[in-house]
A = this chain, B = another copy of it.
Amino acid sequence: MAVRVIEVHESVFAEKDRIARETRHLLKAQGTFMVNLMASPGAGKTTTLLRTFNVLREEYSCGVMEADIDATVDADSMQAAGVRTIQVHTGGACAMDAVMTRDALQAFDTKDLDLLVLENVGNLVCPAEEDVGASCRVNILSVPEGDDKPLKYPLMFEVCDAVLINKIDAEAYFDFDRERAAANIRLRNPDAEIFFVSAKTGEGFDAWTDYLRGKIREWKSSAQVTGNEIT
C-alpha cells in the first residue's frame, strides 16, 4: 500500500489562532458574548445551560451550539425548551477547534444574540487545548467526579475563567470536600471564579448568573468602544 503523507505545519496553528481572533472580533462587533462551556461527560452541562437560559432569557437573546461526536439528544432538549439551537457533529474529533467553530457560526444565525454558548464535547483534555474564539471559558466539575480532578487535568482548570461545581445537591452521597476542590482549582488557577451550584435545584444560580450578567455588560460596553474596527 502506498504511504499516505499528512503534513502538519506550524502555520496551521498560526492560522487557527488567527481564525479564533477573527471570531472574537466578529462576535464583539455584533455584541454577542460567547461562552465555551467544557466538562467531563455527564457533569451536567445541558441541565446547567437550560437553567441558565431560563433565568437570563427575559433579559438577553440566547442561543446554543451543541457539539457532539454523535447524536442530537442535547440539541433536542434545548430546542424543546425554546432556545435557538444548532447541532454540530465533530466527525469523531474530541473537541471543537477554531475552524469548526467559525464554520458552525457561519451556518447559525447569531447576529442578534446577546449570549451564545458553545457546549463543547464532554472531555477534560482536548477542549482545553483549543482557542475557539470564545469570549470566556467555563468548566463544570460535578461533585460525583471528585475534588481531585484539577490535579489530574491541570490545563482545563488553568485556561478557565470560571468553574462551576455542580450537583452539590448530591454532596451527602459522595466524598467531596468543597475547600479541597477550591484549593486544587486555585493551585492551577488563582484567578478562576468558583461557583457551587445545583442545576437540579437552582442553588447557587444567583451568583453564577450575576457573574454572567457582569461579563455580558463588560463585553458589550467594550464593543461600543472598539466599534467595527479590527483591532
A interface list, Cβ under 8 A from B: 1, 3-11, 40-43, 68-71, 73-74, 92, 94, 121-126, 142, 144-146, 148-149, 151-155, 167, 169-170, 173-174
Contacts and interface: CB of A to CB of B under 8 A. Distances in A.
Given A153-B122, A173-B173, A145 B94 contact: no
Given A123-B94, A124-B123, A144-B144, A152 B6 contact: no
B124 A70 contact: no
A173 B200 CA distance: 10
A151 B138 CA distance: 24
Specify how many copies of this chain sit in the oligomer.
2
19 contacts: A3-B10, A4-B9, A4-B10, A6-B8, A42-B142, A42-B145, A42-B146, A42-B149, A71-B151, A73-B151, A73-B152, A92-B155, A122-B124, A126-B126, A144-B144, A144-B167, A170-B173, A170-B174, A173-B173
A166 to B, nearest CB: 10
